[in-house]
Amino acid sequence: MIKKRASLKAQITIFMIVGLLILFVFIFMFQLVSQTTKGQLQDAKEQILTKAFKKEALRIYVDDCLNDELEQGLILLGQQGRIWSDQPGGTKEFSSGITGTESFPGSENRLSYAISKGEYSPYSNAYPCQNKTDNSPEFCQYSFPDTEIGFGKLDLKPSTLTDDLKNYVINRTIACIYNYTKSNISSKADVEIENLQLDLQLMDDGINVKAEFPLKFSLGQEEFFYLSTFDFFYPTQFKWLIESAVTRPLLYDWKYIDFDYNSSVLEQPLFTYASSLQSANCQPFDNYFSCDRSLFYEKYSLLGVQMNKEENAKGDDVFTFTSPQIVNLPGFYEFKFARQNRPPALNYINRSQCLANNYDYLVIIDDVPETFYLGGKTTPFTINNGAITDLNVYSITSSNSDFVVFQEEFPLIVAPGFNHTLFVEFKPSIDGNQSTELVLNTSLGLQSYLLEGTGYLPQEEINQSCLKFDDTYHGDVKLSLCARDPDEDNIIYSFAQSTWNFPEVLIQPWLYLTNGFFPTSGRYNITAIATDQHGSKDYQTIRLLVDRPMILNVSLELPYPNITSQLEGAYFVSTEDPVFVNVTFPVESEVIPSDKRSIVLNYTNYLGNESFQYQLGTTWFPTNTVCYALPWNTPKTCTPESYKDDLIDWKTNLLNPPFNNFREETENAWLNLSFASNYCDSLEKDKSMGVSVVVKSCVPYQNSEHPFAFNPVGKYHQYTFGLDNESKTNFSDIKPKQTNFNPLLATHSCCAGDPDLPGTWELKEEGEVCFTNPIVGCYGGVEGTTSLSGYRSYILEIEKDTCDGTRGNVCSGGKIYSYYKNKDNPPQELICGDNQPGCAGIANKCRGQPAWSYVNLDDDPEKAELWCSGKMGCSDGSCNTTVVAEYLIGNYGNYRYQRIINGLINTNEDFGMHCGCRADDEAKPCDANLDGTFEGACRGGECVFGEAVNVEEPLIGEPEEIQPMEPFCTPNQKICLKDVSLGDYPFEEWGHDQEQIDDLQEQIDEMLKDYPEAIISCNKQGTNFDQPDNLCQGGSCNNGQCIFEED
């Protein structure tokens, strides 16, 4: 029994050891199996993921998903024209009236503005120019057909549609991948897609999409990353539709204001538009180019597109294009968008604008053509006569009764070289430009002139716009509003202003204002407005600069009062007198600097032998009227005083340029004044006017107080006289000389002609008297007598000076002298001097007495006291007894007279008498009682009465030397006759022919006119015939004496 227990313990030990071994094996096997299971599970998991993300499976899923989403994107884009920011992939925020509009009131369909009117803040009238520059101008200088800008804002472009569709697809692609992961991997997976790269291209036959996206998601604590790409192509002709019906026409509608967006245009291969730029398909048209451009009309036609355009209440246009060939769905595809109503585009209204000086429209008051006639105004019309004979105008007719010529009397006579001004009034009966032909029936044949005018009748409404005016002249305002509407709306024009009042202008496209509507020169504003039928407007505040009038005038003036220097439109000047040229030109302009204007005075005569031109300066003068003194302008002023020292050297100086003006006589010359100014370096504005000039040799100026012209030595101009009751010179009222008197203002006594008839002005001939010294004196100037040495100081003479035939205002041709004469001492009398200038050596008792005369100092008519004799019959006053004659004479007075007028007598011997009987005087006639009768004869040194003998008296003078019988009577003679007839004298027997007798008769007749109180002696004058009784008024002739009853 004991053996079994030992075996049992041993057995238990063995089993314990085996159990432990089994436990260790189990633990080992468990661990081994656990590791194997984990590996198997991981492999299984990886196999599942690999199978789930196979590329083809994902592509198929996404392709199928996006096919539907792309179609929905095209539909959505077609419904709205854009995808809005609150829609998948949208970026554009919808704002009603700004980015889009509801199709119609209450519609949920929000349409995008393919073209909007745009924002032009802060200047709404900058439209449509904001697209041309980044700056916002105060106004727009747009003018049709400027194609450099757009009208509004173009929002719908091919890139816009591509981007919208691309963003939509990206959005939907992400959604597709997210949905796939959630449904095919684990709904608990967190999906993240970063930097999805998707390229979408619109192609002619479809839309191609390429995508590359990194996919990252996580399950529990595990993260997984997978990079996948796919290509997707959707067959469609969406691009054809967009190009042919939407984006390309929209571009043209935005760019060309005359593009008419309608189906008729889209169905044509070409459309026509206007452009300011020339290109290959452009032809000149009017003042721009007419161009052709193509559209995608073939695509448009192949797609069978239908177009519909409607207008909503805001004036926006809603466009709908339908086509069956766009999406892979039954029915028609629609693409719809809106075009916001845009304002009309008003052409920039301007004329010679200068933005630097802040004006758009320049008005120059009175800048109108001389030959152009404005309605309702009267304008001068000038007839010129360039012929050498008078132009007689018998009648004037007008081919258009709207032009009325004012002329009261015919015939109208225009002298050679002159002109005559008529006046023409234009009274338009129709709007616009007119013309007429004026036909003058003249002595030189028919002459015609073409006149043109423009005028407008007052009307309440004028519908024509875009009128074109000739802007050569700037004297009025001619505004023709011109606008075009980019949406083909009707346009209404209007004006408004606030700076001055002009007449009410009703709705019309133009405004015509003459300068009479502007109170003064200055700056004014007129607002021009173009409004479409929906109230959208474009406007321009036209900044007008009304510049000072182009007043231009030139006139000539002589420095003398009471001279008619202008006649029949011509100015008369002379070669020897100052000419004052009065120039009037425009006053200073606020926009023209002094270096941008010029004044030119130009002269030329039609003989071609004299011309001159003066640039009158580029600086502004204190006034707009300046006087230039010619010739020798510098430093002369327009006063006679400036020329008082120039008379002596005048003719010499006229030979020396540059200021030797008006040196050549001419009957036809022209003095022209021109004014030019530059506005803003863009407009050269000029004006000119001229006058006809006649240059004479002198001016017959008369000054009754100073009747003698200048003499460089004698200073004749200084002589001053009083005036008579008729304001003529009173030569007996001699005033003190005015030594400072201006010689120019003395009488031009060598110039002949009527001061009021310039055509008669001419120089006096050489030798004509221009000065008579009012003071007689013993000048010793009579040739052959007093001019001889030793005989100069006895006889009173009259000193005269003559013209030289070359000057009219200078008297210096040479002096002439004659014996003093007056009413009591008729012509050719010799009077002894007294205290007059130059008188000397005269016997005291002979002073003031006739030479070789009997002197009755106590006025006893019966007997003289002495006989003056000696040198010139004046130096010896001692003969108081007997006067002896060399010849038998009948009457002393006649004898003396004939000796004086027919001989050159200086001494007693020349005179043929002497004092006292000398030894060699035996039997010569003598006068012992100084009564003028030689009834005695010298016998033994004494004068014996009654003893006179006949001594042959020689013929007094040769026939050619016979002088007229001037009146003279000695104091003891009776008053005889006035009328003398040479027919009563036997001149033929004396050797004179009939022509000489007639000349003598004329001289006597003239003499009697000058001396109405003159008396004629009835003595025989040394003849042997009886004078008829009728020679003695109230008496009879007896032996050469007039016998009256009282005798």
Does the reported pTM lie above 0.95? no
The CA radius of gyration of the chain, in Å to the nearest whole number, is 63
Q: What topology does CATH give the domain 555-696?
A: Immunoglobulin-like (2.60.40)
Q: For the residues 536-551, what does the mean pLDDT come to?
A: 88
Token pair of 487, please?
A: 């949406």
Maximum mean pLDDT: which of 106-115, 159-168, 408-417, 980-989: 159-168
Confidence at residue 701, expressed as pLDDT on a 0 to 100 scale: 97
**In the structure, what pLDDT confidence band is assigned to residue 142 with cuts at 50, 70 and 90?**
confident
Question: 721 Cβ partners below 8 Å, 6+ apart?
Answer: 704, 705, 706, 707, 729, 730, 731, 733, 734, 735, 774
Residue 725 has pLDDT above 90, yes or no: yes
Confidence at residue 178, expressed as pLDDT on a 0 to 100 scale: 78
The share of the chain scoring above pLDDT 70, in percent, equals: 76
Q: In 3D, which of 149, 370, 176, 168 has the Cα closest to residue 275?
A: 149
How far apart CA 233 and CA 236 sit, in angstroms, is 9
Least confident of 128-142, 308-322, 541-555, 770-784: 128-142
Residue 135 has pLDDT above 90, yes or no: no
Confidence at residue 172, expressed as pLDDT on a 0 to 100 scale: 85
pLDDT digits (tens, 9 = 90+) for 209-242: 888 877 666 666 666 656 677 788 899 999 999 9
Burial letters 818-851, b for 16+ CB under 10 A, else e: ebbbeeeebbbbbbbbeebebbebbbebbbbbbb
Q: Does domain 355-547 have CATH number 2.170.190.11?
A: no
Higher pLDDT, 266 or 370: 266
Tokens 């003036």, residue located? 557
Question: 819 Cβ partners below 8 Å, 6+ apart?
Answer: 782, 795, 796, 797, 798, 827, 828, 829, 830, 831
Domains 355-547 and 555-696 fall in the same CATH topology: yes
Q: In 3D, which of 822, 839, 713 has the Cα closest to residue 786?
A: 839
Least confident of 501-515, 897-911, 971-985: 971-985
**In the structure, what pLDDT confidence band is assigned to residue 100 with cuts at 50, 70 and 90?**
very high
**In the structure, what pLDDT confidence band is assigned to residue 447 with cuts at 50, 70 and 90?**
confident
CB-based contact 199:162 (threshold 8 Å):
no
E-only strand ranges, 399-520: 403-406, 412-414, 419-426, 432-442, 445-455, 476-480, 483-484, 491-497, 510-514
- Indicate the residue type of 258: D
Q: For the residues 783-812, what does the mean pLDDT come to?
A: 93
Maximum mean pLDDT: which of 16-25, 67-76, 730-739: 730-739
Higher pLDDT, 440 or 513: 440
Confidence at residue 271, expressed as pLDDT on a 0 to 100 scale: 95
Residue 974 has pLDDT above 50, yes or no: no
DSSP 322-344: EESSSSSSSS-EEEEEEE-----
Q: Positive or negative CA dihedral for 891, 892, 893, 894?
A: positive
CB neighbourhood size of 698 (10 A) = 25
Residue 276 has pLDDT above 80, yes or no: yes
Least confident of 169-173, 428-432, 538-542, 997-1001: 997-1001
Q: For the residues 1014-1042, what does the mean pLDDT come to?
A: 39
Q: For the residues 242-259, what does the mean pLDDT come to?
A: 94
The share of the chain scoring above pLDDT 90, in percent, equals: 39
Higher pLDDT, 388 or 270: 270
Residue 661 has pLDDT above 80, yes or no: yes
How far separated are the first and last CA of the chain, in Å rounded? 256
Measured at the CA of 600, the angle between CA 595 and CA 602, to 5 degrees, comes to 165
Backbone angles phi, psi at 643, to 5 degrees: -115, 10
How far apart CA 134 and CA 130 sit, in angstroms, is 7
Strand partners, 129: none
How far apart CA 842 and CA 840 sit, in angstroms, is 6
Question: 4 Cβ partners below 8 Å, 6+ apart?
Answer: none
Q: Would you report the helix, strand and coil content of the chain in percent, each value rounded to 5? A: 20, 30, 50
How far apart CA 621 and CA 850 sit, in angstroms, is 69
Token pair of 413, please?
A: 């006579």
Strands 1036-1038 and 1041-1043, bridge-based pairing: antiparallel
Higher pLDDT, 232 or 44: 232
pLDDT digits (tens, 9 = 90+) for 835-867: 999 999 999 999 999 999 999 877 666 678 899
Higher pLDDT, 477 or 115: 115
Confidence at residue 464, expressed as pLDDT on a 0 to 100 scale: 64
Q: For the residues 392-411, what does the mean pLDDT come to?
A: 85
Least confident of 301-315, 475-489, 675-689, 1032-1046: 1032-1046
Q: For the residues 268-297, what does the mean pLDDT come to?
A: 91
Question: 304 Cβ partners below 8 Å, 6+ apart?
Answer: 323, 324, 325
Mean pLDDT for all residues in the chain: 80
Least confident of 23-27, 33-37, 85-89, 929-933: 33-37
Boundaries of every domain in the chain: 355-547, 555-696, 968-1047
Confidence at residue 972, expressed as pLDDT on a 0 to 100 scale: 31
Tokens 């007059």, residue located? 836
Maximum mean pLDDT: which of 337-341, 392-396, 605-609: 337-341
Residue 247 has pLDDT above 90, yes or no: yes
CB-based contact 964:982 (threshold 8 Å):
no
Confidence at residue 573, expressed as pLDDT on a 0 to 100 scale: 96
**In the structure, what pLDDT confidence band is assigned to residue 981 with cuts at 50, 70 and 90?**
very low
